[in-house]
Amino acid sequence: RHLLLVLDNFEHLLDSVPLIGELLSAAPQLWILVTSRRRLKLSSETVVFLDGLRAPAEPGDDAQSYPAVQMFLLHSRRMRGHYEPTEQDMAGIAAVCRLVHGMPLGILLSAAWTRVLSPAEVAGEIAKDQDFLQTDMPDVPARQSSLRAVFLHAGSKLDAGEREVFMRLSVFRGGASLEAAQHVTGATVGMLATLIDNALLRRLPSGRYDIHELLRQFAQEQLEQDSQIAQAAHDAHSSYYAGFMQERSSAITGAAQQRILQEISAEMDNIRAAWVWAAARLDVDNIRLATYTLYQFTDFRGGYREGIELFEQAIAALDAAPPSAQHDMLLALLCALNGWNYIRIGDYETSAAVFARSAALYAALNTPPPPG
């Protein structure tokens, strides 16, 4: 007989995986569809990773055409009968779906709250606290009663080393290359494979490693509970991307410029986070390593305002620190380059003031300013 057997939420029944193999061997015409947060690791297994449902990327999108919104409305109507959302409600629903990144459980838990809150109010509560998403429905398993319960259940399957790698991965923004992930977390390829098998990490077609944003936020929360590990992870992340930028300081103006710009663009979320951390920690060495390439990148890509914002963050941090020749040398360089950013946006008055400060710093240091 040709049969399809569906086994849902199998991650808590993994001791029974051998039975699936026996069934498939004994019944060649049997197909088994299994949903699980963990791979079964059977030789006959074909794995399909499921992402969140598509949600509106922008407030003006036709929200009702997106599966995430349709699921939200379906579950809301189970609570409120013939619920017909207003235009304001649709904006709130779209915001909820974006906040939970289309995760079906997140949508279900959110929709349950519409019996007492408007969709916009639900979105506001989620933005304040992920733990808002939970239910007291008696027929829902405890491991699925909240997003936190789901994440804790998944994390409980890891050993201590794998759990620390998962937490350290939360410092990345926009994913990471294999080299970056291993440098910052100390992970082996086997550890990364375990995280992928437990649906805590995914490898994108580009080859980058990425964590679902809600999982990343949960992992970050866990990381910050150990200040020593958190600081080490952020320091390693900041150091890696400062070195990444320094390595490209010459090539960004050479024949390989387009490739270099693409490489930096792919890592810009990480570079931005690394720069902000270095500025907050007053890590002069890492700021200096990244400065020239960051300036060139924002200049070539027309990102003058972002360049100004990032440079001003570092300048403010240096201004707040006790003065030293090392700090003043970096301040002089940042001001010299930022003066050109202000010129690019037509703010000549600020540019003149910034250039004047840079010149005064170089004169006090008895050092000539950089050419150009």
Alpha-carbon torsion (222, 228, 232, 234), positive or negative: positive
Phi, psi for residue 326 in degrees, rounded to 5: -65, -45
Return d(Cα 129, Cα 366) in angstroms, integer: 53
Indicate left, alpha or beta for 2 from its phi (over 0: left) and psi (-120 to 50: alpha): beta
Identify the DSSP state of 16: G
Return d(Cα 326, Cα 287) in angstroms, integer: 12
Asked if residue 298 lies in contact with residue 341, where contact means CB atoms within 8 angstroms, the answer is yes
> Long-range contacts for 161-164 (Cβ within 8 Å, ≥24 apart)?
161/191, 162/191, 162/194, 162/195, 163/222, 164/229
Output the pLDDT for position 70. Answer: 92
Specify which residues 176 forms β-bridges with: 209
Per-residue pLDDT of the chain (372 residues; tens, 9 = 90+): 899 999 988 888 888 999 999 999 999 899 999 998 888 888 888 988 887 888 888 766 678 889 999 999 998 888 777 788 888 888 899 998 988 888 888 888 888 888 888 999 988 888 887 777 776 666 666 666 666 777 777 777 788 999 999 999 999 999 999 999 999 999 999 999 999 988 889 998 899 999 888 889 889 989 999 999 999 999 999 999 999 999 999 999 999 999 999 999 999 999 999 999 999 999 999 999 999 999 999 999 999 999 999 999 999 999 999 889 999 999 999 999 999 999 999 999 999 999 999 999 999 999 888 766
Q: Name the residue among 320, 310, 253 with its Cα closest to residue 287.
A: 310
Q: Name the residue among 28, 47, 36 with its Cα closest to residue 7.
A: 36
Output the pLDDT for position 372. Answer: 60
Output the pLDDT for position 212. Answer: 84
Q: In degrees to the nearest 10, what's the CA dihedral of 113, 118, 119, 123?
A: -80
In the structure, how many helices (H) and strands (E) does the chain have? Answer: 17, 4
